[in-house]
Amino acid sequence: MADDHDDRPAYDPSEPTPPEREPPYRQTAPQSAFTGTQVTIGCLVSVVGLAVIFGLPLVLA
C-alpha cells in the first residue's frame, strides 16, 4: 500500500497554492457485478417481504 501514496503530489496546508497536477482519482469500493444466484435470492427476499407487508394485513382483515 505504500506505493499508493507515492503517486500523490506533496501538499502543504499552509501553502495556498494548489499542487501543479491533480491528485489521482480516489479508488473506493466499485460496484461489483452480481451473479444470477444473488439476483434470484434478492428477488425472492423482495417477494416474501412484499407478501408479508401486503398479504398478512389482507388475510387478517
For residue range 10-59, what is the model confidence (pLDDT) as tens digits?
666 776 676 667 666 666 666 777 889 999 999 999 999 999 999 988 89
pLDDT of residue 33: 79
pLDDT at 8: 63
The sign of the torsion formed by the CA atoms of 25, 30, 31, 36 equals positive
Q: How far apart are CA 25 and CA 28, in angstroms?
A: 9
The pLDDT value given to residue 52: 94
- Cell numbers 469500493 correspond to 29
**pLDDT value of position 41:** 96
- Does residue 2 register a pLDDT over 60? no
Whether the pLDDT of residue 3 is over 60: the answer is: no
**DSSP code, position 54:** I
User: Residue ranges per domain, the chain?
Assistant: 34-61
